[in-house]
Each structure stands twice: as structure tokens, then as C-alpha cells.
Amino acid sequence: MQPENFHTKIYSVSQLTEEIQGILEDRFPFIWIEGEISNFSAPASGHYYMVLKDKKSQIRAVMFRMQARYIRYVPENGMKVIAQGRIGVYPPRGEYQVILDYLEPLGVGALAMAFEQLKRRLAEQGLFDEALKRPLPFLPQRIAVITSPTGAAVKDFLKVIGRRFENLDIIVVPVRVQGEEASSDIVKALELVNRQLDVDVIVLTRGGGSLEDLWPFNQEELALCIRKSRIPVVSAVGHEIDLTISDLAADLRAPTPSAAAEMLVSEKKILRNRIDEAAARLENGIKHRLKGLGMEVEAFRKAIKDPGKGLQEEMIHLDDMVFRLQRSVRRFIDKTARGLEGEKRGLIGNSPSAFLTSLRQDLKFKERSLEEQMLRVLHEKRTGISHLERRAGDLGPLSVLNRGYSITMKLPEMGLVRDSADTSRGDRVKVMLSKGELECIVEKSD
């Protein structure tokens, strides 16, 4: 079928696509567009491909590698964004799309989104686990401070350190703390301190600022370097409300540079008071222990009885028994005498001469019996005392010598010789006998 108007232009597909491309690209050279990301992909080429949609429509979009490298976060499906770009047509498929130059999340800044993404990713890797945190030394003697040498942070840190504990060795490692190259400077400084400096702790610090100002401390490379450090790291970046990736990765986070100094170093006066208190407690404890030991020694001393003292106590006991026996005999004699005297008076009153004579004889007999009994008891007690005295003498060293034994001592130190192995041929010895002493030379010892 032929067209009715032979002057009507017939377009090829390519021609029509070129016409549409020209119209769209000329009409929309610069646009802002708002939508939700879906079908996002990031191939190895480094380009970002996605679809931007709202409730009624959708449009394809692409951000080429040269522009994508300037955004600090990675777009995600479901993220609502505002984008800037231009309309372009892709002739091979006859599709139009938005070629993006700028992309920012709605409701939150790009840097804030990048921070949250990096924090989440490093947390999933376990980089912030408390189990990885290293303990800080109780009182560090050398501290490396990585910061700007002209900033207020280092001045505040040094001022607090000097007030709390003077004469500590502080090494300031100068770095840039703001700008594109700052993070690289901090990483190199950390590696330098670990490699060349003998310090107890490292402090990363700078003053407060915006999220952009603090961005060097929100880098993955810095977080990994902190965790690789062999020296504990304290992060004191910004103000108390600021939070950075270095704070999360460090072994200790201090809200401010001044707080870092207070947390690291105890006040010397407090430490001295603690030492004095500990010394006083130690002294009192030693005194109490010595007193207790003295009481134990005294108790042991009293519990150990001297054999001579025991013998003396027995002798005293025997004497006491003799005295009591004598008093008993005397009381008995006196009582008997009084009884006899009464009977005598009765007999005298009755005047029976024969009976009186008999009683007198009986009295004399009883007196002799009592005297003999008393003498016998006294003799037995004296015999017992003599026996105990002989036993005490037999236990003495002189009695042993009297039985034919001797005591040998090695000259010149006068040490007792209990075994022939304690002497050698030619040794001089002294031999104590029951009577006299001998000095001898050993000829043979078996």
C-alpha cells in the first residue's frame, strides 16, 4: 500500500531515535529528580545502574564511574534520593534514561549515610567487638599523641597531663587532621609509632568540627590500622556528642582531648595518698602479725617444761606431804593425849591405882607405836626422795661418763662427733672422760 501523500517523510528507526534523542537532550540538559532506588547494580566497570521510581512511574538511570567515585556511600535499593543529571537516549534499545552527575539521600546527608554504611559493615566484620579491646596501662610513662601540633586539642591535652602528673614523656607526632590527605597522614603516623617509638599508649585527637571536618577519622583504612596496632590506642576526636569510626575501633574512646588526659593519667596526689594508705595498712598488718607470733612463742615456751623444774616441783610436793603427815601425827597425838588426860583425871578421881598403872603402860606403848609409825613413814618418804635424786643424777651427762662412756669433740671448732664419718685421718679431737680430758689424733675411722 503506498502512502497517499508522496511528500510524507518516512523515518527509519535510527532516524526517529536520533530525532527523539535530540529533542529530549536539548529540552532537558539539566534536571533535578526525586525518587526511590530499585534494581540497583554496581558491576566491575564501576558504573552504577538503577531505576528511579515513585508510585506511578519509573525511569532508568545511570551514574558513570567518573561521577560515582565522588560519592562516599553506596546506593541501596529502597533508598529515597534526590538526583541531578540530564536526559539521555540509549539508541541500541531505543530507551531514554537519566545520566546522573549527583546523588544524595533524602532526609540525611551523603556523609551521614556513608558513615552509617561503613559503621554497619565494620561492625559485621567484628572490628568493634569489646573482646578485641586491649587494656590500657595503669600509669603510662610515655605517650604518643597523633594530632595537629598547632590545634587546641594538643594544648588542652598537655595542660591536663601537666596538672595531674608532671614529668611524663609526651611525644607529639604532627599530622594533618582535616582535608583529603589527613586520613593517610594519620595512618602513616600510626604505623611509624608502632614501628619506631617505644611508647605505652597512642592518643588520636583533634578538636570539634562538622561531619566533613571529622571525615578523616571515618575511614576504613584508619580503623583497620588501629586494630593492627600493637600499642593500645585512645581516640579523642571532636566534642562529646561527636562519634567517629576511629572512636569505635579504638581500645578506649574519650569524649574530649582533656577527658583523654584525665582517663589516662591518675592525679599524682591521689596516687601518693593511696600508697601511704597501703603502707600504713601493711605496717599495721605486720605489727599485728608479729604480736600474734610473739603470743604463740610465749605459749609454746610456757608449754615446754624443764626436767629440772619438774624434779624440783616433785621435791616440793614430797616436802609438803611430809609436813602434812607430821601435822596429822601431831594432831592425832595431841587429840589422843587430851583423851588420855581426861581418862587420867577420871581415874585419879576414882583412884584405881592398878588400873591407872595399866593405863600408863598402855599409854607408853601407844606413844612408842605412834613414834615408830611416824619414823617409818618419814623413812619411806626420805627413801623416795633419795631414789628420785639418784634418777635425776643418772640422767645427767656426768653419770653417763661415770659408766665408762666418753664425749668426743672435733678440734678446733669443738663440734660433737656422733659418727666416725664426721672425721678423717689426721683430724685432732678432744675426748672428755669421767675424770679428765684427752687430746687425740685420728689414725683411722670406719
What pLDDT is attached to residue 166?
66
**The domain defined by 134-266 carries CATH number 1.20.120.530:** no
Strand order across the 407-410 sheet: 415-416, 407-410, 428-432, 437-441
3-state DSSP assignment of residue 413: coil
Three-state DSSP at 197 gives coil
pLDDT for the residue 194: 93
Each residue's pLDDT tens digit in the chain (446 positions)? 555 555 677 777 887 877 777 777 777 778 888 888 888 998 888 899 999 988 888 888 999 988 888 877 788 887 888 888 888 888 888 788 888 988 888 765 667 777 778 888 888 888 888 888 888 887 788 888 898 888 878 888 888 877 776 667 888 888 898 888 888 999 999 999 999 988 889 999 888 777 778 888 888 898 999 999 999 999 888 777 778 888 888 888 888 888 888 877 754 455 565 665 676 678 777 877 877 777 777 777 766 655 666 666 677 777 778 778 888 888 888 888 888 777 777 666 666 666 667 778 888 888 888 888 888 888 888 888 888 877 776 666 667 777 777 888 888 888 888 888 888 888 888 888 878 888 898 888 77
Give the position of cell 574530649.
Answer: 256
Q: What is the pLDDT of residue 188?
A: 92
Q: Where are the beta strands (DSSP E) in 221-264?
A: 233-237, 252-253
CA distance 204 to 239: 13
Give me the chain's average pLDDT, please. Answer: 80
429 and 412 Cβ atoms separated by less than 8 Å: no
Q: What percent helix, strand, coil does the chain show, rounded to 5?
A: 50, 20, 30
Domain ranges of the chain: 13-107, 134-266, 307-395, 401-441
Name the pTM for this structure.
0.45
pLDDT at 267: 44
CATH no. of 13-107: 2.40.50.140
**pLDDT on residue 190:** 93
Give residue-wise pLDDT tens across range 77-115. 878 888 888 888 888 887 888 889 888 887 656 677 777
User: What pLDDT, on the 0 to 100 scale, is given for residue 268?
Assistant: 47
Distance CA 205, CA 158 (A): 12
419, three cell numbers: 659418727
Question: Would you state the pLDDT for residue 138?
Answer: 77
Residue pair 124/179 in contact by the 8 Å Cβ criterion: no
